[in-house]
């Protein structure tokens, strides 16, 4: 009897697994590696950012641009095909994020990146206009002054065999997003506000750890993880920082209205926070989730974009020279880089688009189907996770022949118009695309202009970035380049 009970208990998970696979039977038309009972394809996918990056590329190669894997109780379909992406991204129905985004909720709660349904729709309508042209034009002051500090810091690296530029760019991006989103100068490049800076870095790092762990991803088990105490402490620091900033800013705003103080009428730079405070519909907590979302979504992504742009320019000296020639022709020696300069540097724009294609800062995004769906003739059961594999489509030979070649001419207008509209999607596309896309383009263009005007950058012999993906694309052995001051390079 005892033996029968033990056998029944042991076999239950296998029955469950069998019925779980049955649920996704209609996806048998989509190829993928054979899953093992219970753990599925966990070994095929890997448990580190670099393994995930390499394994996804291998699976894409082996099974084509739509393939599926099973991980635990999740069926994930990876999609690097522009026809499928068009149907999914352009839809107003397939907009719910996957369960993986829940790991961000302790920090972002239901901000724009993580929310769904009517809440997301309402907020998106409110937030999109805050990033209009006039506001972005004001942000150029922040981009310019923060870049000047970065250049001063990088100057001390000139002439060294190599410099890991990642930490420099990371602090720069943090300064920029803090000042534009919250209106607060945190001066992290100058070593200030280190408690907040460390808390943010630690929170992001631990969240990546949780994504790859079989057990730390569950809130009730994470409490037993060694990272938990510091993770919680970081969260308290992050939440307190934004709460304080919002409260102070709201108070100041009220005082300004009541007292009509002397600074009314004076030119004061507006932050995204000020625009959100204008809305009668938003409480301080609502605003906090959106400000934290901007901090999160606009920081690591921008760092990734800029660091890979520097790598690509170092690896392609002729392209670097062409960009430099354009900068001299358009911007010359002017210290303030203006909106007009950014609009007129057309070749640089093509180069940055090619950087975003070759090194997509966000390698994939995920949606969860809340109902059965027919997409490009395939029946997807409710509960399927759609992994929109942006890095995969941006490296798909169908749309980008010879994808490992760095070739900005892919973005000549006649070549762009010949391509599928959903092949170049580093910022996603459709209703859930990146709300900070224009901000990010201006930011990266400006920093490249200022860096290249000051320095010539070189590849480091024998250095090869070790790419990995955990939310954003990152090189896990730093981002090494060699810097020489212009005019003195050998």
Q: How many CB atoms lie within 10 A of CB 410?
A: 21
Q: Quick one: CA torsion of 423, 427, 431, 436, rounded to 10 degrees?
A: -160
Name the DSSP class of 48: S
Among 328, 319, 388, smallest CA distance to 352 is for 319
Position 432 contacts ligand HEM (CB under 6 A) = yes
Tell me the torsion sign for CA atoms 405, 408, 409, 413.
positive
Position 361 contacts ligand HEM (CB under 6 A) = yes
Of 13-21, 224-232, 250-258, 298-306, the segment contacting ligand HEM by CB under 6 A is 298-306
Is 75 assigned a ligand-binding role in the annotation?
A: no
Q: Which two tokens stand for residue 46?
A: 């890997």
Residue with tokens 């029944």: 8
Q: How far is the CB of 448 from ligand HEM (least distance, A)?
A: 12
Q: Which residue is nearest to ligand HEM (CB)?
A: 436
What track of x and - describes contact with ligand HEM for positions 148 through 167 (by CB under 6 A)? --------------------
Position 113 contacts ligand HEM (CB under 6 A) = yes
Q: How far is the CB of 443 from ligand HEM (least distance, A)?
A: 7
Among 218, 4, 19, 202, smallest CA distance to 100 is for 218
Q: How far is CA 249 from CA 142, 178, 238, 277, 399, in A?
A: 19, 14, 17, 9, 48
Return the number of the residue (293 or 396) whose C-beta is nearest ligand HEM: 293
Phi-psi region of 123 (alpha: psi -120 to 50; beta: other; left: phi over 0): alpha
Q: How far is the CB of 180 from ligand HEM (least distance, A)?
A: 7
Q: How far is the CB of 359 from ligand HEM (least distance, A)?
A: 10
Pairing of strands 455-458, 480-485: antiparallel
What track of x and - describes contact with ligand HEM for positions 275 through 294 (by CB under 6 A)? ------------------xx
Residue 403 CA to residue 396 CA, distance in Å, equals: 7
Write out the binding residues for ligand HEM, residues 52-91 only, by CB under 6 A: none
Residue 209 CA to residue 126 CA, distance in Å, equals: 33
Q: Which two tokens stand for residue 344?
A: 């007129």
Return the number of the residue (182 or 435) whose C-beta is nearest ligand HEM: 435
Position 440 contacts ligand HEM (CB under 6 A) = yes
Residue 347 CA to residue 406 CA, distance in Å, equals: 14
Return the number of the residue (361 or 408) whose C-beta is nearest ligand HEM: 361
Q: Considering only residues 53, 411, 439, 458, which one is a binding residue for ligand HEM as defined by CB under 6 A?
A: 439
Of 51-59, 207-215, 253-261, 361-369, the segment contacting ligand HEM by CB under 6 A is 361-369
Instruction: List, as residue ranges, the binding site for heme.
Output: 434
Give the residue ranges of the annotated binding site. 434
- Chain residues in the site for ligand HEM (CB under 6 A): 112-113, 124, 293-294, 297-298, 301-302, 305, 361-362, 365, 426-428, 432, 434-436, 439-440
């Amino acid at each position: 009897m005892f033996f029968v009970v033990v056998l029944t208990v042991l076999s239950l998970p296998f029955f469950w697994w069998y019925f779980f696979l049955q649920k996704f039977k209609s996806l048998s038309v989509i190829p993928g590696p054979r899953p093992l009972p219970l753990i599925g394809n966990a070994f095929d996918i890997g448990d580190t950012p670099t393994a995930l990056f390499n394994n996804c590329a291998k699976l894409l190669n082996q099974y084509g641009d739509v393939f599926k894997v099973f991980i635990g109780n999740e069926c994930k379909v990876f999609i690097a095909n522009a026809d499928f992406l068009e149907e999914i991204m352009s839809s107003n129905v397939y907009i719910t994020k996957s369960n993986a985004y829940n790991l961000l909720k302790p920090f972002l709660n239901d901000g724009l990146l993580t929310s769904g349904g009517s809440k997301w729709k309402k907020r998106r309508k409110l937030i999109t206009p805050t990033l209009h042209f006039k506001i972005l034009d004001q942000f150029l002051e922040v981009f310019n002054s923060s870049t000047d500090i970065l250049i001063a810091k990088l100057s001390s690296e000139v002439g060294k065999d190599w410099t890991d530029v990642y930490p420099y760019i990371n602090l720069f991006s943090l300064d920029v997003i803090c000042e534009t989103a919250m209106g607060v100068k945190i001066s992290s490049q100058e070593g200030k506000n280190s408690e907040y800076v460390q808390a943010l870095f630690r929170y992001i790092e631990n969240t990546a750890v949780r994504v790859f762990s079989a057990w730390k991803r569950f809130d009730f088990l994470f409490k037993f993880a060694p990272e938990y105490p510091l993770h919680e402490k970081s969260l308290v620091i992050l939440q307190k920082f934004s709460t304080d900033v919002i409260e102070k800013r709201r108070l100041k705003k009220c005082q300004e209205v009541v007292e009509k103080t002397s600074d009314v009428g004076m030119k004061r730079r507006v932050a995204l926070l000020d625009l959100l405070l204008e809305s009668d519909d938003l409480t301080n907590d609502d605003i906090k989730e959106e400000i934290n979302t901007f901090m999160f979504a606009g920081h690591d992504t921008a760092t990734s974009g800029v660091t890979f742009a520097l790598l690509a320019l170092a690896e392609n000296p002729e392209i670097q020279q062409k960009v430099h020639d354009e900068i001299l022709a358009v911007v010359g020696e002017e210290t303030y880089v203006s909106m007009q300069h950014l609009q007129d540097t057309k070749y640089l724009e093509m180069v940055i688009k090619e950087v975003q294609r070759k090194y997509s800062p966000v390698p994939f995004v995920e949606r969860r189907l809340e109902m059965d769906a027919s997409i490009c003739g395939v029946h997807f059961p409710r509960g399927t996770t759609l992994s929109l594999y942006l890095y995969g489509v941006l490296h798909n030979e169908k749309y980008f022949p010879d994808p490992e070649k760095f070739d900005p001419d892919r973005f000549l207008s006649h070549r762009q118009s010949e391509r599928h509209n959903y092949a170049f999607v580093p910022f996603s596309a459709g209703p859930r695309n990146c709300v900070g896309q224009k901000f990010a383009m201006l930011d990266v263009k400006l920093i490249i202009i200022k860096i290249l005007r000051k320095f010539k950058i070189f590849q480091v012999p024998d250095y090869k970035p070790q790419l990995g993906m955990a939310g954003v694309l990152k090189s896990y052995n730093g981002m090494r380049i060699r810097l020489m001051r212009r005019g003195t390079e050998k």
